[in-house]
Structure 1
Amino acid sequence: MKRVLRSAWVTAAVALTLTVAGCGGSGGADPGDVNPSGSVKPREISWLLSRPADGAVIRTMTELAGEYAQDHPGFRLNLITTPDRPSYIQKYETLAAADKLPELFDTDATPFAQKLAKQGRMMDAAKLLESLGVYDTYRKAALDYQRFDDGSLYMIPFEYQLEFFWYNKALLAKAGVGVPKSLDDFPALCTALRKAGVTPIALDGQDQWPLERYAAYQPFRTDGSSYVRDLKKNGAKFADPAGEKAAKWLSDLGRAGCFAEGFSSTGYADAQNQFTTGKAAVYNIGTWELASLATDKLNPAVRDDVDFFTLPTTAGSATAADEFVAPSGIGMAVNARTYDPLVRDFLKFALTEYPQRYAATGELSPTTNAETTVPANATPLYRRAVDAADEVGDELAMPWDTQLDPTTNTRLQHELVLLVQGDVTPAEFVSTMDDALAQNAPKYFK
C-alpha cells in the first residue's frame, strides 16, 4: 500500500514555493570534482522540478529532506514546482540563459541539456553516483534512459516505469481475436473489434504524446533505437523504409478505426475511463497507473478481465520482445556552479535512503536494491508488472517527444492526427515531416 510518512517537522523543515530563491554556494566546481573539500555548512538549496506535486517522488524527497534538516539545522530544500511541462521548459531554459539555475534541476537528455554539460554547468552524474557508492545499484535501463547520445551521464533517475498494452480479455473474446503477436496484427484486431461493436483502443489524443508512442513502435522494431537517434539530427529520413512503414501502419490503424471516435480531443482521464468501464478493449499506458489498473480501485465489472502484454515484435524484428518503452522519467541534474560539500552530503543521504522509501509507496525503484511494496488491495497483475521490471532487455524504445527538436516534434504531433484521421496520405505525411526535419534539426543540433 502506498504510504507517506508525515510529521510536523517535515512541514517545518521543507519549503515549497513557486518563486526562485537565491542559489547560494560559491564559485562552482569542476564537473568531475565530485568530492569537494571543506565542511558541510547547512543552508537552503533549491530544486527546480517538473513532477506531480502529490506524486511519490516529491513526497519521498520531502520526507528525506525533513529528516536531513533535523540533523543539519539551517538546511532547507526549496522545491520550485512547475508541473506543466511546457511552462517548466520555458522557465528552465530562461534561468539557464541567465545563469540562475538552482543547485538541482530537472531535465531530459536534450541537446539543450547537453550544451549545459559541455559548458561545465552540470556535475558528472556517473562519477557522482560512483563516489557515493550507489552507481551499481541502479538499473541499467534507468541510467541508459538518462544518457546523452555519446553515452555520458549527467542526470539522476528517481523513478522507473514500464509501458504495457492493457487489454480486456472478455472484449477480445467477444470479437473472436487474441493478443496480437505482431504490430502488423493491429489493423485486423481493430477491424474485428469494431465489427463486434467494441472501441478497439482508448487513446489520450489531447496530450499528443500517446499517439506519438505509436509512431515510434514500428521503427523501433525494424531498426532499433538507432533510427530516431539518426532521424532527429536529419541523418535519417521519414522517407526511409522504417519511416515509411510507420506512416503506412498508422494510416492503416486509422482506416481500421483503431482509436475511439474524437480521439484527438479525448483527455487523459477520459481515455482511462473508456478502458476501465469496458468501453475500449486496449489501453497503452505505463506502470504509473498500477494503482488504477491493478488494485481493487478498478471497476469490478472489468477487474477480472484485465491483463497486459508488452510491445509486440515484427517479422525480422531488430529488437527483442523484452525490449520496449521503459522510461525512468525526467532526470535530476546537479548544478556544477553551486555544488559544494553540503549538496554532496545531502545527495549522499537522500540517494542512499530514497530507493527503499520510494519502493514502499508501491512504486518501481530506479535501483535493484529496493523491493516494491505491493499494496494489500492489489490484483495479481500488480505483482506481475513489478516482476517484469527485472526482465527488461538492453535496448530501449525512446519516446520521440524527448528526442526530436521542439519545432519538428510539434509538427509531428499535428501531422500524426491528420494521418490517422485520413486527412493526409502516408506519402504526404512523409514529405511534410522530412521538410520540417530538414529545416529545424540542423539548427537545433548544431
Structure 2
Amino acid sequence: MVSALAVVGAGAVLLSACSSGSTGGSNTAFNYLGQTENTTIVGTLKTLSAGECTAENKALPLKATTNPGSSFDQKLQLLAGQNALPNMSMAAGTPSLMKQFISAGKLKDLSSVAGVSDHILPAAKSTIEKLYDTDKLYVLPTEFNIEGIWYNKKIFSDNGIEVPKTWNALVDASVKLKAAGVQPISTDGKDGWPITRLIGDYIFRDLGPNALKDVADGKAKLTDAAYVKAADAVASLGKQGFFGDAVASIDYSTMINSFLTGKAAMMYNGSWVLANFADKSQNQIGEDNIGYMPFPAVSGGKGSIDQVPSNVGVPVTFASKNFDSKVGDWVGCIAKNYGNQVLADSGVVSGFTITKQPSSVSSLTKTVQDVASKTTTSVLWFEALFSAKATTVSSNNASQLVNGSINGSQFMQLVQDAK
C-alpha cells in the first residue's frame, strides 16, 4: 500500500531502450532487491532456496539486498538508468514507472519462460494486464488481494437483512441499520482510499470494466456526467450518515476496530485484512461471524458483480539483462512453489496456483481463495491508472466528499485536473 503511493521525482533518470541487456552470462549470484519493510518475500525465497529450489540455489546462490520503501522507486530508476537492475526485484509501486521500464526493454517477458504462465491464476493475470496495459507477463504476483465488503453476519441476521446484491439494496440495508442504531459502514476518511475505492467500483459496475482506462487514455473525463454520478452516489452515503460522525478523523486502525468490535455492520477492505481478523486481540466478533460480499451491481449497469476489484500487492519482476538459463530455472521454481510456501508460512494468498493446501487455513482465507480461483476478469482501483499527484488529490479530498464539504462534480474536477 505504501509503495503504491510513492512519488516519482521530476528529475527521473531517463531510460534508454538501446541499452536493455541481453541473455548475457555474467551471473555469479541470483540477486534480489526488495523493500526493507517487506520481509515476507525475501523470507519465502530463503525458505525455497533451502527447500524446493535447492538445485536452483546451488547453481546460482540467492543474494538478497534491501532498500527503504520510501525511496524504492527512485532506487529502481537509478539502477535502470545505469542498466544495472538486479536479476529479481520488487516491482516499482508506480504503474507508470513500470510501463517506462517495459517500453525501454528493461524487464523480461516471463510469458516466454516455459511453464510460468500455467502457474498464474487467471484473475491475477487479468489484474496484471490491466495494471500495466499489456497482454504479456512482466511480473509475478506474490500476493493476490481481492477487495469487497466485509459484513457482520449477526448484525445482518438480527436486523433481517439479506446480503445486498445491488447498490439500491445496499442503501436500503444501510437505512435500516441506521434506524436501528447501528453504524452501517466503517471507513477510513483520514487516508481516504477506502472511500475512493467505492467510487471506482461504482464506476466499473455502472460503466463497465474499461471505464477508468478510457479516462486514462483520454477517451473520457472524470467530469463527464456518467462518472460524476458515481461520486454523487458515494457522497450520498455520507450525507445520510452511513459512515458515522467525524469521518475525516477516522484512520485505518480505527476503521478496523469499529468493525471488529461490532460497532459497524460493514467495512470495505481488501483481503490483506485477514491478518487483523485472525488476531483475537483485535477481533471481538469472531471470524465465523464475518462474511464477504462482492461490491454490488448497479441497476442497468454494463459491469458485472463477478468482476472482482483486486490488486497483486507488490509483485516481483526480473531484469532482461543477464537473464540466462539459471535465472530462468529460478523463475520456474518460484512460479511453481511460491504460492504453496507463502500460504503455509505466512497465510498470504498469492496469485499463483495452489497444489498443497495447508490444513490450518481459515474459512475466510478459503473464501478468498475460492473467489480468486473462480474469477476470470478483475478490475483495478480508482486511481490505479492515474498519476501519483492525482492519487494524493483523490485521497486527500475523499472525506470532504462524504462530509458534504464538496460535491461529486467538484471532487471529480479536482482529480481530473491532477490526472
| Conserved 8 A contact 1:102-1:338 | no
- Please state how far the C-alpha of 1:249 moved relative to its aligned partner: 0.6
The aligned counterpart of 2:367 is 384
The aligned counterpart of 2:386 is 404
The aligned counterpart of 2:405 is 423
Moved more, 297-306 or 234-243: 297-306
TM-score (normalised: structure 1):
0.79
CA 1:351–1:395: 2 relative to 1, 3 Å: closer
2:218 is matched with which residue: 234, 238, 253?
A: 234
Mark the runs of 5 or more structure 2 residues left unpaired by the alignment. Answer: 1-18
Partner-residue secondary structure (3-state), 2:378: coil
Matching of residue 262 in structure 1 with residue 250 in structure 2: no
| Conserved 8 A contact 1:164-1:310 | yes
Matching of residue 47 in structure 1 with residue 29 in structure 2: no
CA 1:193–1:331: 2 relative to 1, 3 Å: same
The aligned counterpart of 1:75 is 61
Higher relative contact order (CA 8 A, sep 6+): 2
- Structure-2 separation of matches of 1:41 and 1:87: 26
Q: How does 1:424-443 map to 2 (within 5 A)?
A: 424-437=406-419
The aligned counterpart of 2:149 is 165
Partner-residue secondary structure (3-state), 1:285: strand
| Conserved 8 A contact 1:295-1:382 | no
- Please state how far the C-alpha of 1:50 moved relative to its aligned partner: 7.3
- Structure-2 separation of matches of 1:118 and 1:63: 33
- Structure-2 separation of matches of 1:383 and 1:297: 22
Once the two structures are superposed, residues 8-55 of structure 1 have per-residue CA deviations (whole angstroms, 9 ceiling, x without a partner) of xxxxxxxxxxxxxxxxxxx8644xxxxx486x96426132347632x3
The aligned counterpart of 2:320 is 336
Once the two structures are superposed, residues 350-403 of structure 1 have per-residue CA deviations (whole angstroms, 9 ceiling, x without a partner) of 333323222323333423342442526x3x4443333232222x3212013321
- Please state how far the C-alpha of 1:297 moved relative to its aligned partner: 6.8
Matching of residue 354 in structure 1 with residue 338 in structure 2: yes
Q: How does 1:2-401 map to 2 (within 5 A)?
A: 29-30=21-22, 36=23, 42-43=28-29, 45-49=31-35, 52-53=38-39, 55=40, 57-67=41-51, 72=58, 75-82=61-68, 84=69, 86-105=70-89, 106-107=91-92, 110-128=95-113, 131=114, 133-147=115-129, 148-293=132-277, 299=283, 301-361=285-345, 362-375=347-360, 378=362, 380-392=363-375, 394-401=376-383
- Please state how far the C-alpha of 1:179 moved relative to its aligned partner: 2.4
Number of residue pairs matched? 395
CA 1:332–1:382: 2 relative to 1, 3 Å: closer
Once the two structures are superposed, residues 161-209 of structure 1 have per-residue CA deviations (whole angstroms, 9 ceiling, x without a partner) of 2223111123234545432221233343333322222222122334432
CA 1:240–1:188: 2 relative to 1, 3 Å: same
- Structure-1 separation of matches of 2:328 and 2:50: 16
- Please state how far the C-alpha of 1:90 moved relative to its aligned partner: 3.5
CA 1:265–1:103: 2 relative to 1, 3 Å: farther
Partner-residue secondary structure (3-state), 1:162: strand
Moved more, 305-314 or 164-173: 164-173
TM-score (normalised: structure 2):
0.83
- Please state how far the C-alpha of 1:115 moved relative to its aligned partner: 1.7
- Structure-1 separation of matches of 2:294 and 2:156: 16
Q: State the one-letter code of the partner of 1:48.
A: G
Q: State the one-letter code of the partner of 2:411.
A: F
Partner-residue secondary structure (3-state), 2:33: strand
| Conserved 8 A contact 1:29-1:336 | yes
- Please state how far the C-alpha of 1:300 moved relative to its aligned partner: 5.2
- Please state how far the C-alpha of 1:235 moved relative to its aligned partner: 2.4
- Please state how far the C-alpha of 1:117 moved relative to its aligned partner: 1.3
Identity over aligned residues, as a percent?
24
Partner-residue secondary structure (3-state), 1:77: strand
- Structure-2 separation of matches of 1:123 and 1:299: 43
CA 1:432–1:107: 2 relative to 1, 3 Å: closer
Once the two structures are superposed, residues 282-306 of structure 1 have per-residue CA deviations (whole angstroms, 9 ceiling, x without a partner) of 0222222334436867745444432
Q: State the one-letter code of the partner of 1:101.
A: L
- Structure-2 separation of matches of 1:295 and 1:220: 33
CA 1:50–1:224: 2 relative to 1, 3 Å: farther
Moved more, 202-211 or 299-308: 299-308
- Please state how far the C-alpha of 1:246 moved relative to its aligned partner: 0.8
Q: State the one-letter code of the partner of 2:31.
A: I
- Please state how far the C-alpha of 1:221 moved relative to its aligned partner: 0.5
- Please state how far the C-alpha of 1:124 moved relative to its aligned partner: 1.1
| Conserved 8 A contact 2:393-2:415 | yes
Once the two structures are superposed, residues 124-157 of structure 1 have per-residue CA deviations (whole angstroms, 9 ceiling, x without a partner) of 12113xx2x2312211111221223242331121
- Please state how far the C-alpha of 1:112 moved relative to its aligned partner: 1.9
- Structure-1 separation of matches of 2:79 and 2:127: 25
| Conserved 8 A contact 1:200-1:259 | yes
- Please state how far the C-alpha of 1:318 moved relative to its aligned partner: 1.8
Q: State the one-letter code of the partner of 2:179.
A: K
What value does the CA root-mean-square deviation take over the aligned residues?
Answer: 2.9
Once the two structures are superposed, residues 253-292 of structure 1 have per-residue CA deviations (whole angstroms, 9 ceiling, x without a partner) of 1102222433333333222111111111102222223344
